Structure 1
Amino acid sequence: MTITPIVPAPRDLDAEQQRDIERFEAAVAQYLAGEIDEDVFRVMRLNNGIYGQRQGGINQMVRIKFPAGPATPEQLEMIAHLAETYSRGWAHITTRHNIQMHYVQLDKVPEVMRKVGSVGLTTREACGDTVRNVMACHLAGACPYEKLDVTPWAEAAFEHFVRNPIGQRLPRKFKINFSGCETDCGQAMFNDAGVVASVRRREDGTLEHGFRVFVAGGLGANPHPALLLEEFTTREDLLPTLEAILRVFEQTGNRDNKLRARMKWVIDTLGWDEVQRRVLKLRSTLPASSSWPGGIPAIVAKAGDEPAGRTDSGEITPVGQGVSVQLLSSDPFQRWEATSVIRGAANGTVSAVAYAALGDITSDQFRALAAIQRELGADVRLTNRQNLVFRGLSESQVRPLYDRLEQIGMARPGAELARDVVSCPGADTCNIAVTQSRGLGKAIGDLLEEEGLAEVGGIRINISGCTNSCGQHHASDIGFFGAERRAHGQSAPGYQMLLGGYVGQESIHFGDKALRLPAKAAPEAAVRVVRRFAAEREAGETFRSWLDRSGGAKGVAADLKDLDHFPTPDEAPHFFIDYDETGPFSAEVGDSECAV
C-alpha cells in the first residue's frame, strides 16, 4: 500500500504553548553554550516532555501527549513526518496514551515541539515531577457497559492541570486515569488518582451519575492498590476532589527521598484515615480559591457525557482483562473479527482494534492509518495495550477496515490474545533499564507463533526492563521485569517472572513472584505457562482462577525450575549476551529521569 507523504498544514500555536517553546529554545541554546547547569536544565527539559537517553550526548526522547487517547488524521500524519525526519522512521505507543520518538537531537527539539503544537498536541508535562498525561478507557463513549462517557472528564482534568502552578514542582510524578465502569479498562486502580464512573439511587428513586475516586495506587518496585476516597463523588465535585488530592500530595510528599516520594508513600507516612481527612477537608475549602474548578466543566457541558448505552438486541462483546476469546474459524477475517471487534453500543456502531506489535508503528503505517480514518470517518484512540482502536464504525465498514489494515500489517488477531505482548522501551534507550525488554517481547511473540500458541485468548503478557514497571508487569497474567544475574563469575541478563496480576471490578491483584530466569530462558517459560493454561483451563475460566487452583505462582513455577539454569559461557555464550546486543552483557544504568 503506497501512501503519499502528507505534512499537515501548520496552525497557530496558542500563546501559552508559544511561550513554553520559546523559553525552552532559549534554554537549549544556553545549555549547549555551557551557560546553564545540567541539573537546572534537566528539570526544564523533563517538564517539557523531553527525556534523556542512555546513549547520552544530545540524543533525546520526545514524548507527545494524547489526553484521553483520541487522535486525528492530521496528528497521525504529523507523527509520521516527525518520525522519519527527526527520529528512526517509526514511533512507539506507550501504556499511557503517549507517542514517543527516540534519537531526536536536542537542537532540533524546539522545531519538533512547534510542529507538535501545530496539530493541537503538546509535550508539556509528559515527563518530570508533574501531573502526567491524563488517561481514559479507550472505549469511553463507545462501550455498552459504561456508566458515563469519561472522555470529556479526562480532557477537562488535563486542561485544568496542565501548566497549573500547583503541579509544576511536585515531590514526584502524579498520574490520573479514568474508567467508564467498574470493569476498569482504564486501569484506575493503580494510579495516584483513579476515577471510575458510577451510579447511585437517590432517596426519591431517581438515579444520579457520578464517580468513585480511588487514591494512591501505584506500581514500581513496591506496588500499592488504590484506596476508595468516599462512596460516591458527584459530577460537580470531581475536579475539586482531584485538585484536593494533588494539593495534599504537593504539601506532604517526600521531597528528600525520591524513592519514597509518590502518593502511595504519603499513605505509609500519614496513614489512610489522615490522608482521607485532609483531602475531604481541603476540598471543602476550595470554593474560596481563585481557580476553583467546581461545577460541570465547560468541555463536559459542551460535549456531553451520556453513556453509550446497550443495544436492545444482538450480542454484547465482553471487555476487560480475562475475557474469554475463542477463534473458531480458519478464515483470517473472521478470526480478526472474533478478537478485535467490539459490539453492543445502543447506537449500533462498532469498534475495532488495529494491532501494533510492541506498540511500534512506522511512518508509512501512520499515514495509512490517517487515510483509513478519513475514509471511514472514524474516531481513533490509542489504547493502554499499545494498539489503536477505530470507533463509530457501521457494520458495512468492518470488512473494509480489515482489508485496509491487512495491507499495512496491522490486522492480525491481537486484542486479548497471547501475542499482544506489552513492553517498555527497555535498555534500547532508557537510562535505568537493566535489560532489553523489547527484545524479550519479540522473542516471546516469535516462540508463541512457532508453538501455535499466539492466539490463546484471555491472557496478557507484560515486560519491564527493570523493577519500575513502566511495562506494567505487576498487573498482567504473566509479567517479567529485568534484573542482573551472576553465573560462572560473569554478569548475565535475567528476569523475575510474576504470575496472576489482574485489574478489574474495582480491585487489583499484583502478580506473585514465580521464579528468576536467565533472559534467554524466559520465552520458553512463558510458552510453557501459556500451553499449560490453554490445556487445563475450564470453559471461560480466567488465568487468575486457573492459577489459584493450580497451586498459585509457586506451584506453577515448580514445573519451570529446570529453566533457571545458566550453562557455562563456553557451552552457551548467548546466555551472557542480551537480546539485540552483540557484546557481553553489562548492567549499566544511568540516573533515573522517570521513564513512563
Structure 2
Amino acid sequence: MVTVQIDNTAVIDPAQLADIEKFERMLVRYKAGEIPEDVMRVFRLNNGVYGQRQGGTRQMVRVKIPAGIIQPEHFEAMGHIARTYSRGWGHITTRQNIQFHYVELDDIPEVMRTLASVGLTTREACGDTVRNVQGCHLAGACPHEVLDITAWARATALHFLRHPYAQRLPRKFKINFSGCATDCGQAMFNDVGIVAATREVPGGTEAGFRVYVAGGLGANPHPALALEEFTAREDLLPTIEACLRVFDHDGYRENKLRARMKWLVEKLGFEELQRRIFRERRFLLASSSWPGGIPELVTLHGDAPAGRHAEVAATPVGQGVNLSPLGHQSNAQSNGQTNYQSNGHGDSQSNGQGHSNHQANGHGNSQGNGTAMPVSIGGRAPYGRWQQANVVRGVAKGTVSAYAWARLGDITADQFDALAAIQRELGAECRVTNRQNIVFRDLEEHQLPRLFEALSAIDMGQPGAELLRDVVACPGADTCNLAVTQSRGLADAIGDRLEEEGLTEVGGLRINISGCTNSCGQHHAADIGFFGAERRAHGRSAPGYQMLLGGYVGDTQIHFGTKALRLPARNAPEAVVRVVRRFTAERAPGEEFRQWLERAGGPRAVGKGLADLDEFPTPEAGPEFYVDYDEAGPYEAVVGDSECAT
C-alpha cells in the first residue's frame, strides 16, 4: 500500500488555528504545573481529547464527522494519523465519530493540524458540549424521506460549534436527524431528535419537522418525547437552541449522574419543560445568536427529498416492490422468485430486475402489515450475496448505494488510504453509519462489480454489513475507564460463533454490546443486547454479562430491551446462537423478532431456556471463565475516574 502524503501547508480555518494554538499554550502551562489536573481535563475534553484507562500521557482523540459525511482527503488524513500517531487503526463510533487511541498528549496539536488541513475538528467531540450532530446516512438517497436532512444537520453542527451556550453545559448534549419516521438517525434516544414530517395546509401539505426531546440511554434509559406536533422549517434552529438554553439553565450541575436532559422531565414535569422551551424560543429573537429562518446551507444545497424511483412509486402495494414506511419489505415476488431480503431493523432491498432497493440503517422494526420476513442470504456466489445484502436502491435519479463492512467498526491505516482511492475512482459520496460502517453513495449499476472487487481486496467486502454479522460494540475495557468487560472481545467471539453456525447473514436481528451499564454500545436498543458486569463464582471474580432481548427503535417509537438472564462472558456467544436458532426455526412467515419474542413468552421466558448457561465451572475445571476476552491474566474489575461525567 502506498503511503499517502499529507499536505501540511494547507490553509487552516482561523478559528481552528486559534483552537490549536491555545491547546499548545495550555499544554505548556499544564506540563509546567501552572494548570491543575481537573482544569486541564475539562479543557482536553472540550477539545475532543479523552483519557484512557491506561493512564499516563496516552489519550483517545475523537474526530467529529457531522452527518457522517466523509471525503477522500478525510480518509487520507485519518490513515496518516492511525499510522503515525495511533496504533495503526481508527474506530468508528455509534455517533458517526472516528476516534484514535494511544495518541501521546504531546502529539495532539499535530493531530489537530492534520485534521484541520482537511476541514475536520475534534472541538466539542467530548465534554459537556453539543456533541457531533448525527444524520441518517442515507439522507438524500432514501425513497421514504420527507426532507433531505443533510444540510440541516450540517447547519446545526456549524451553528453550535463554539457557541457560547455549548461550552460548559451541565452534561453532554446530543442531536440527531432523521429524514422520515423510519428514524435511521435514531432520534428517539437523544436529547434532541429531529424527524422530518408533514402537515396538512390549505392547498396541500407542508414539509417540516417533529422535534423530540429528553431521550437517552445509559443506566436509566428514557424515551424521547414529542415537543410539539409540528415545527416549521424556519423555526427549527431556534427550537433546538431553546432546548439547549433550558437545559443549561435548569439541568442538574451538582449531580452529574442526573445531569442529562432526560432528568429534567422528572425534575420539572414534561408540561413545564415544554412551557420553558416555548418561552425561550419566543424571546430568542432578541438574542445575538438567534438562528431563525432557513439556514444558508439549506438555501444553498436544498433539502428536497430524493423521491422514489418511478417504478417503485407506480407499483401497487402488495405487488412487486412494496416498500413500507419503515423500509421493511413484503415477501414480494419477481420472476416467480422471492426477491426481498430483510437486513434487520429498517433495512430492506430487492433483487428484482429493474426494481428499487431500500436499506435504512435504523433499528426500525416495522410493525406494518406483518409481511416482512428476515431470511438468510447464503448459497449464492460471493458477488451476488454482497449485492443482495449490501446494495441499496431507490433514489429517483437512479443511483445506488452500497455498504463497506468494518469489523467492530475498526479501519486500518491502509484501509483508510484504500477507501480514499476507491471513493475518488468511483466519484462516490461516502458517509459513516451509526452501525460503524461506511456507505458509498451516488453510484451507478456498472460500478458495483468494481466496488465489490476493491472492497474485497481490503477485507471490507463481506456480505451482510448491517446484518447479524454486524455486531456493534463500544471500546470496552480495552481503553475505557468505566468498562468492566472487554466488549470488543465478546463481539469478536459472537461473530466467530455465528460464522461457525452459518448464521452471520441472517437478517432482521441486531446485536449490540456495552462494557458497562452506560450503553455506549446502545445495548438497550438492540434485539439482542449485552452489558458487562462483574460476577462472583467459587470465591473468584469473573467477567459476566446481562443479556437483554427485544430492544427496538423505529417508526418514531422506542422500546428498551428487557433483561433475560445473566451469563458468564464465555457463554454469551452460545446464548446468542441458541436464540437465533430458535427464532429462525419458530418464526411464522413475516414475523419479526419482537413479535416472535412476545409469542415465545417474552425475554424472561426465553432466558429461562438458557438457564444452564448461567453456570461457572470451578477455576480448575474452566480457567478460561475467569479470564476476560483479549486478556492473559485473571479477571479483575478495574474502574477508573470517569471523564464522561467531568
| 326-335 or 499-508, larger mean C-alpha shift | 326-335
Whole-angstrom CA distance in 1 between matches of 2:475 and 2:378: 34
In the TM superposition, what whole-angstrom CA distance separates every residue of 1:195-242 from its partner, at most 9, and x where no partner exists?
Answer: 00011120x222211000000000000000000000000000000000
Q: Which residue of 1 aligns with 2:519?
A: 469
Q: Is the 8 A contact 2:198 2:208 kept in 1?
A: yes
Deviations 1:459-481 (A, max 9, x none): 10000000000000000000000
- CA-to-partner distance for each residue in 1:543-567, whole Å, 9 max, x for gaps? 1111111111011101100000011
| 1:318 Cα deviation from its structure 2 partner | 4.9
**Which residue of 2 is the match for residue 343 of structure 1?**
393
Q: Aligned in 2, Cα 1:216/1:101: closer, same or farther, shift over 3 Å?
A: same
Query: Equivalent residue of 1:591, what SS?
Result: coil
Q: What secondary structure does 1:115 align onto?
A: helix
Helix, strand or coil for the counterpart of 2:215? Answer: coil
Answer yes or no: is the 8 Å Cα contact 1:8–1:74 preserved in 2.
Answer: no
Residue of structure 2 equivalent to 1:317: 358
Partner of 1:120: 119
SS in 1 for 2:148: coil
Q: Does the CA contact (< 8 Å) of 1:325 and 1:457 recur in 2?
A: yes
Counterpart of 2:266 in structure 1 is 268
Distance 2:587 2:460 in 1: 29
Structure 1 stretch displaced more, 528-537 or 231-240? 528-537
What is residue 287 of structure 1 aligned with on the other side? Answer: 285
Equivalent of 1:558, from 598, 608, 614? 608
Contact 1:190 1:218 survives alignment (8 Å): yes
What is the identity, as a one-letter code, of the residue corresponding to 2:618? T
CA contact (8 A) 1:494 1:519 kept: yes
Counterpart selection for 1:382 from 428, 432, 450: 432
Contact 2:392 2:402 in 1 (8 A): yes
Matches within 5 A, 1:344-423: 344-423=394-473
**Corresponding position of 1:131:** 130
Provide Cα deviations, 1:517-560, integer angstroms capped at 9, x if missing partner: 11111111111111111111223321111111111101110110
How far apart are residue 326 of structure 1 and its match? Answer: 4.5
Matched with 1:5 is: 4
2:257 to 256, 259, 266: 259
Residue 94 (structure 2) pairs with residue 92 (structure 1): no
1:221 to 188, 206, 219: 219
Match of 2:571, SS? helix
User: Distance between the aligned counterparts of 1:122 and 1:52, measured in 2?
Assistant: 18
Q: Distance in 1 between matches of 2:379 and 2:234?
A: 49
Shift of 1:10: 4.3
The question of whether the paired residues in 2 share the 8 Å contact of 1:92 and 1:361 is answered with yes
The match for 1:101 is 100
Name the stretch that deviates more: 259-268 or 28-37: 28-37
Distance 1:33 1:433 in 2: 32
1:20 and 1:87 map into 2 onto residues whose CA distance is: 21
**How far apart, in 1, do the equivalents of 2:274 and 2:253 lie?**
21
Contact 1:357 1:420 in 2 (8 A): yes
TM-superposed deviation, 1:315: 2.9
**1:343-398 residue CA offsets vs partner (Å, 9 max, x unmatched):** 11111001100000100011111111100000000000000000000000011111
Output aligned runs, 1:135-534, within 5 Å. Answer: 135-202=134-201, 204-313=202-311, 314-319=355-360, 320-321=362-363, 322=365, 324-327=374-377, 329-534=379-584
**Residue type of the alignment partner of 2:73:** E
Q: Distance in 2 between matches of 1:544 and 1:40?
A: 47
Question: What secondary structure does 2:66 align onto?
Answer: coil
Whether the 8 Å contact between 1:416 and 1:458 is mirrored in structure 2 is: no
Between the aligned partners of 1:437 and 1:476, the Cα distance in structure 2 is 15
Mapped to 2, the partners of 1:251 and 1:108 lie a distance apart of 36
Segments of structure 2 that go 5 or more residues without pairing to the other structure are 312-354, 366-371
Give a deviation string over 1:118-172, Cα, whole Å, max 9, x none. 1000000000000000000000111111000001100011001011001111000
Which letter maps to 1:241?
T
Aligned residue for 2:578, secondary structure, equals helix
SS of the residue aligned with 2:67? coil
Q: Tell me how many residue pairs correspond in the alignment.
A: 594
- Secondary structure (helix, strand or coil) at the match of 2:23 reads helix
Query: C-alpha separation between the residues in 2 aligned to 1:208 and 1:41?
Result: 48
Q: Which amino acid aligns with 2:215?
A: G
**Matched position secondary structure for 1:294:** coil
* 8 Å contact from structure 2 (residues 139, 148) kept in 1: yes
What's the offset of the Cα at 1:7? 2.4
Are the equivalent residues in 1 in contact too, given 2:171–2:645 (CA < 8 A)? no
Measured in 1, the distance between the counterparts of 2:104 and 2:359 equals 44
Which amino acid is 1:272 matched to? F
Percent of pairs with identical residues? 67
How far apart in 1 are the matches of 2:235 and 2:468? 40
Secondary structure (helix, strand or coil) at the match of 2:610 reads: helix
When structure 1 is superposed on structure 2, of 529-538 and 401-410 the one drifting more is: 529-538
Partner of 1:110: 109
**1:36 Cα deviation after fit:** 1.1
TM, length-normalised to structure 2: 0.91
2:65 matched to which residue of 1?
66
Q: For residues 238-291 of structure 1, what are the alpha-carbon distances to aligned partners after superposition, in whole Å with 9 as ceiling and x for unaligned?
A: 000000000000000000100000000011100000001111111011111111
- The change in CA–CA distance for 1:206 and 1:133 in structure 2 (over 3 A counts) is same
More displaced 10-residue stretch of structure 1: 409-418 or 65-74: 409-418
Supply the RMSD in Å over aligned alpha carbons: 1.3
Tell me how far apart the structure 2 counterparts of residues 396 and 512 of structure 1 sit (CA, whole Å). 45
In structure 2, C-alpha distance between the alignment counterparts of 1:8 and 1:539, rounded to whole Å: 56
Instruction: Tell me which of 567, 571, 584 is aligned to 2:621.
Output: 571
Q: Distance in 2 between matches of 1:297 and 1:447?
A: 49
Task: Tell me if the contact between 1:7 and 1:77 (Cα under 8 Å) persists in the aligned partners.
Answer: yes
Q: Is the 8 A contact 1:432 1:589 kept in 2?
A: yes
Question: SS at the partner of 1:20?
Answer: helix
Q: Where does the alignment leave 5 or more consecutive residues of structure 1 unmatched?
A: none
- Matched to 1:391, the amino acid is R
Secondary structure at the aligned position of 1:492 is classed as strand
